[in-house]
Structure 1
């Protein structure tokens, strides 16, 4: 089940980033950054009451002049309309209602997407309420007064936002078909791969105008089995500043990855693996998806008997935070090895949904502990009592120990390796939670 996506839109200096940081910061859990992946915080995982959603800041470069402000805001609104399930449109009670607010409101209203109109900088409700009412004139519903800086009204705002979330995706629940997102930098051959896979088997390309996402879903049947490919190539924007384009493509990557079971990270063999590839891979890794690294344009590489080995180790080095990822060498141009993709996808999904019996897990753990003593600190030794699997997609385990502080990251990694030695789990990350149990509770 994919999480809803919420985007923030508004003029410069109305408090978009303040609101984003309040939501992504203290009161809310934010996923720790993946080692080796730096990112400006364009998106954050937010939890409100019992609802999880992905928050996107469409902001970016703050322009100078009035006309540019409007065109930038339109651009940001368009990104939000394309990718978000709910849009937070933020205005400023002190600047009042401005012409560009109305123009963007028209755009949002026509999109038919749910919009929550937020009036910021209301740090005194009694004093500012008359000014808040002015925003009814935008015609996009009741304005919600907040002060992002003083954290007032945030709860009411989030309640409004959450009302628009789809009821736990009933339609999606029944859809058992594997969903595969194809992501990567521009021009690495994402669309060519999809077109080649489609070949003569073009079934249905569900390209319905006004669907929630602009990532286009393509249904492909292979060997009697149906797959849904989510393509983020989509719109090409010619006139945008590079920075905006990169930001835009990251936002689209996040929304595509969010909906997928398996992510194909496409890398251009002729360019080698880059920092930007690592950024994109980090998004899929953080979200615990099945991952296959697809090195495209392999036909264009001069090869000797060491080429693939050398390439492998370079990819592993740059993407060192995901040693479990599968790597494939293909050519969309010649179709080389592309049909092998389905077997890999099936294998990764099988591993993502694999459940291991508790008894077996505890045998593996006991053996691992016997082979390598758990760490101790100031005479106190770590004791591992019990391990059990609590979820799939990705496989998630809870380990009960006597003292969480003693459970070093490296020992968790050691146990993970032992579990992988026994069951493979190729292509999927594994998550581990460590819980404390006092001896008395046992």
Structure 2
């Protein structure tokens, strides 16, 4: 019994708050100021035994031109057209405004099923607004409080008969098809490598500075204008995740807000947007760091790439707006030199030039992502690792701090995603960083793992000697021990 519900209404009436409550997670950004939401965000909602897809939309504005508000309105109207049911929310404390009346007329024409909800309905201050909502001509309003969870039973009562109608029609069209939604299984980090599927798609996050072209790139991958774009910097606020099939690969791609220098981020809403983007990086498997070809490898770009590496994600560096570059060969040579010099921790990671506007280079970006994903899932047999370790030690023995030689006994791979290796040795706390880097660089070169983060852990091997750590017996204790043994023998 699956359907799509779009939550629409003026800015700051509580649409994102209700969206978060229905999906059971704080996915959408919520703030007191109006106009926080700009893109369409989808989520799997639960309301008692109902399972459906809910869409959080931008606040409806009266602008219809090419301004940012006009583009946001067109995106919301598109959500109305694609949804099965529209939940039209008004602010019960503010009452019915002229804008509410205009939008009610639009919904009456464009949507077959409109449910009216008067949000912020807790307390007597909302009584007048709830009564006034009848004047919109959309039936009896539901008195809601998205923040406190009140009125959800009434919402269920209104949605249930409509949902039953959709289920009956679906069974008539395909009686052998189960229309209920399957829940996603937990992701096992150490599971063996398998290609992404529709149920477990590859998680890709696109990150970068503001106005680098992240939303435009994702729209080109999707093949439709799904995300809000424009010449203004900082349009994207929420980290929006979208599922699609890209050149035969099932992916879930995250669009994130542009990340500026920390000192420049003063606004509370921008701080929330940046933290939402950082959370998307932690959930991703592959991170595409998108640069502007005109100003590549700025300090913030390096910080973003380093963050993705420290989080252990497979990293792709993509240079956007390549279509407006004149001297492409010299520019590409300079980019590769800067990449090797400024990001040595990502040595060997793919560097791809793309044009999000024209779509050129997206096939190369797809191939680079697939190679990085496979490398990120690499597993090396223990026998091969130990043969390799013996050769590395023979070529360059470990240091001997304070004259004590460190013995590297054996090595094994403990995990994948990213590859993590454990070396059993003596005096692990004395191992130098330079020798660990020597081993990591050797792993990258000899086992074909360029660019992927590699974790190397030094561990001490438990000694089987049961007397290790005991104090030696002195001469007096030894004589007493021998004397007692002699007396027992007598």
- TM-score by structure 1 length? 0.56
Corresponding residue for 1:293? 317
Corresponding residue for 2:440? 416
Give the alignment partner of residue 277 of structure 1, picking from 293, 298, 301: 301
Cα pair 2:204 2:254 within 8 Å, conserved: yes
Corresponding residue for 1:402? 426
Given the superposition, is the C-alpha separation of residues 73 and 249 from structure 1 closer, same or farther in structure 2, using an over 3 Å criterion? closer
Give the alignment partner of residue 381 of structure 1, picking from 405, 430, 445: 405
Given the superposition, is the C-alpha separation of residues 316 and 419 from structure 1 closer, same or farther in structure 2, using an over 3 Å criterion? same
RMSD between superposed Cα atoms in Å: 3.8
Give the alignment partner of residue 336 of structure 1, picking from 335, 360, 380: 360
Q: Which stretch shifts more, 175-184 or 262-271?
A: 175-184
Deviation beyond 6 Å, 4+ runs, structure 1? none
Q: Distance in 2 between matches of 1:408 and 1:285?
A: 21
1:190 correspondence with 2:211: no
Given the superposition, is the C-alpha separation of residues 273 and 358 from structure 1 closer, same or farther in structure 2, using an over 3 Å criterion? same
Corresponding residue for 1:243? 266
Corresponding residue for 1:321? 345
Corresponding residue for 1:170? 185
Q: Deviations over 1:68-93 (max 9, x none)?
A: xxxx9746xx89xx9xxxxxxxxxxx
Q: Distance in 2 between matches of 1:363 and 1:111?
A: 61
CA drift of 1:330 comes to 1.1
CA drift of 1:324 comes to 4.3
1:258 correspondence with 2:282: yes
Q: Distance in 1 between matches of 2:407 and 2:380?
A: 22
CA drift of 1:381 comes to 1.0
Cα pair 1:262 1:291 within 8 Å, conserved: yes
Q: Distance in 1 between matches of 2:423 and 2:448?
A: 19
Corresponding residue for 2:146? 110
Structure 2 unaligned residues grouped into runs of 5+: 1-28, 42-119, 124-144, 150-182, 189-196, 228-236, 467-490
Q: Distance in 2 between matches of 1:441 and 1:342?
A: 54
CA drift of 1:440 comes to 4.3
Corresponding residue for 2:414? 390
1:224 correspondence with 2:260: no
Corresponding residue for 2:326? 302
Corresponding residue for 2:458? 434
CA drift of 1:176 comes to 2.1
Structure 1 unaligned residues grouped into runs of 5+: 1-57, 59-71, 83-102, 114-167, 206-212
SS at match of 2:312: coil
SS at match of 1:250: helix
CA drift of 1:199 comes to 2.0
CA drift of 1:441 comes to 6.7
Corresponding residue for 1:366? 390
CA drift of 1:258 comes to 1.5
**What is the aligned length?**
282
CA drift of 1:341 comes to 1.5
Cα pair 1:403 1:437 within 8 Å, conserved: no
Q: Which stretch shifts more, 398-407 or 308-317?
A: 308-317
Cα pair 2:204 2:252 within 8 Å, conserved: yes
Given the superposition, is the C-alpha separation of residues 286 and 304 from structure 1 closer, same or farther in structure 2, using an over 3 Å criterion? closer
Pick 1 or 2: higher relative contact order, CA cutoff 8 A, min separation 6: 1
SS at match of 1:378: helix
Given the superposition, is the C-alpha separation of residues 305 and 346 from structure 1 closer, same or farther in structure 2, using an over 3 Å criterion? closer
Cα pair 1:219 1:229 within 8 Å, conserved: yes
Given the superposition, is the C-alpha separation of residues 412 and 111 from structure 1 closer, same or farther in structure 2, using an over 3 Å criterion? farther
CA drift of 1:334 comes to 2.4
Q: Distance in 2 between matches of 1:321 and 1:181?
A: 20
Q: Distance in 2 between matches of 1:316 and 1:260?
A: 24
SS at match of 1:288: coil
CA drift of 1:111 comes to 4.8
Q: Deviations over 1:353-380 (max 9, x none)?
A: 1111001011111100010011111211
- TM-score by structure 2 length? 0.51
CA drift of 1:329 comes to 1.1
Give the alignment of 1:193-212 within 5 angstroms.
193-199=217-223
Q: Which stretch shifts more, 214-223 or 373-382?
A: 214-223
Given the superposition, is the C-alpha separation of residues 359 and 429 from structure 1 closer, same or farther in structure 2, using an over 3 Å criterion? same
Q: Distance in 2 between matches of 1:441 and 1:421?
A: 38
Structure with the greater alpha carbon radius of gyration: 2
